Amino acid sequence: MSVPPRADWKVRGRRSELRRLPWLEVFRETVELPGGRLVDDFYTVEMQDFVVTAAFTVSGDVVVERLYRHGSRRVTWSLPAGYVHEGEEPLGSAMRELREETGYEADRWTAAGRFIVDGNRGCGWCHCFVAHGARRVGEPVSDDLADVEVSEMPWDRLLELLAAGEVTELASAAAIGLACVRLGDSG
Amino acid sequence: MSVPPRADWKVRGRRSELRRLPWLEVFRETVELPGGRLVDDFYTVEMQDFVVTAAFTVSGDVVVERLYRHGSRRVTWSLPAGYVHEGEEPLGSAMRELREETGYEADRWTAAGRFIVDGNRGCGWCHCFVAHGARRVGEPVSDDLADVEVSEMPWDRLLELLAAGEVTELASAAAIGLACVRLGDSG
């Protein structure tokens, strides 16, 4: 039977099981379900919030990166992304990461939503942005571990790479999709 | 400077720091970067792969769920999703989860890509599907912890809820976006 959600779960206990800041912290929670049932081994993971941006140039191309990502254990096409630093607003993080990673700045920024990375465990929030009027203003200054190759690409070419499995990260896929939703709005 | 990725990282050591199967396992890895630099505290997380499906009825509505999700700590609109069980192909998981969670079956299924949930740490793969010809064939039989309210909704209404911040999970946002990409293909 289809059952309306009655209320939020209540957290009755919470114990840190692994703390490796700033990267992650794992908690074992005791949660009380709406009917009163207790579940004493619900694991949640705190991870850093991050941003991802679909940035379009004036000619309508999109700023993309090619880099190795250890999560997927391979080189992938990605959109510019990075962690939200302490004290930053996500929009500020997105602007900083675009500049640092790619050497680009953009004129107009739109928030395309924030989403929890894992619906059960958390794993941080992903803040998605769409930017327009992007242009190269200097050299990238990123100190990321991975080498990053930056280029501009026609939007349809990125959609082809997405369909071909050459975009391997969920956040990039989401941001590409959300940009399509917005493009559909304005079209 | 924009630098082409030279090669994949090499894992020189890997130690389990927290093992809570089937939910998650956290590893501390020693990785060797292409230039030879060793990083001895790169954390990765193994979590269960899962599926998420944008399922359209013959009238073009989409099958949605409303449920509490502990990751975002609130009630949200979601697309049907669930874990890939041992020995299952993701398509089989998506069909099973749609049937179990919503009571629906669908005629035509298309894989919309698989994506690593966290580009740095892993956290499992999300397999996205788009299904057509969905129809209710019986009662949901899910044993999930959360109550799930199932309904059919016009696609544009779901896009409104997405824009309003009422879809809180990255996987659902991605699957909605990917369905838009595919709709754009065919339109």
Q: What is the mean pLDDT of chain B?
A: 94
CB atoms A117 and B116 under 8 Å: no
pLDDT digits (tens, 9 = 90+) for B101-157: 999 999 999 999 999 999 999 999 999 999 999 999 999 997 777 789 999 999 999
Tell me the ipTM for this assembly. Answer: 0.94
- Return the structure tokens found at A113: 């939503």
- A-contacting residues of B 41-70, CB under 8 Å? 41-45, 47, 66-70
Q: By three-state DSSP, how is residue B59 classified?
A: coil
- Quick one: pLDDT at residue B187? 39
Q: Note whether residue B131 is domain-resident.
A: yes
Same domain, A104 and A144: yes
Same domain, B144 and B61: yes
Q: Note whether residue B30 is domain-resident.
A: yes
Q: Note whether residue B1 is domain-resident.
A: no
Query: How does residue B3 score in pLDDT terms, banded at 50, 70 and 90?
Result: confident
Are B81 and B97 a contacting pair, CB within 8 Å? yes
- Quick one: pLDDT at residue B129? 98
Q: Note whether residue A116 is domain-resident.
A: yes
Inform me whether the C-beta atom of residue A173 falls under 8 Å from chain B C-beta atoms: yes
Burial of residue B185, with CB atoms counted within 10 A of its CB: 0-12 exposed, 13-18 middle, 19 or more buried: exposed
Same domain, A141 and A72: yes
Same domain, B176 and B92: yes
pLDDT digits (tens, 9 = 90+) for A84-143: 999 999 999 999 999 999 999 999 999 999 999 999 999 999 999 999 999 999 999 977
Q: Which residues in chain B are contacts of A32 at CB distance < 8 A?
A: none
Q: How many domains does chain A have?
A: 2
Are A152 and A63 a contacting pair, CB within 8 Å? yes
Same domain, A90 and A173: yes
Same domain, B107 and B38: no
CA distance linking residue A103 with residue A137, whole number of Å = 6
Q: Note whether residue B143 is domain-resident.
A: yes
Same domain, A19 and A84: no
CB atoms B181 and A168 under 8 Å: no
Same domain, A119 and A97: yes
CB atoms A174 and B169 under 8 Å: no
Count of A-B CB contacts under 8 Å:
256
CATH code assigned at A94: 3.90.79.10
Q: Which residues in chain B are contacts of A1 at CB distance < 8 A?
A: 139-140
Q: By three-state DSSP, how is residue B172 classified?
A: helix
CA distance linking residue A94 with residue A128, whole number of Å = 9
- Quick one: pLDDT at residue A89? 98
Q: Per-residue pLDDT for B5 more than 80?
A: no
Q: Note whether residue A5 is domain-resident.
A: no
Q: Note whether residue A152 is domain-resident.
A: yes
Are B105 and B134 a contacting pair, CB within 8 Å? yes
Q: Note whether residue A3 is domain-resident.
A: no
CA distance linking residue B51 with residue B54, whole number of Å = 10
Same domain, B67 and B35: no
Q: Which residues in chain A are contacts of B81 at CB distance < 8 A?
A: 119
Inform me whether the C-beta atom of residue A71 falls under 8 Å from chain B C-beta atoms: yes
Same domain, B171 and B151: yes
Same domain, A127 and A38: no
Same domain, A72 and A145: yes
- A-contacting residues of B 8-27, CB under 8 Å? 8-9, 17-18, 20, 23-24, 26
Q: Containing domain of residue B30, as a range?
A: 10-47
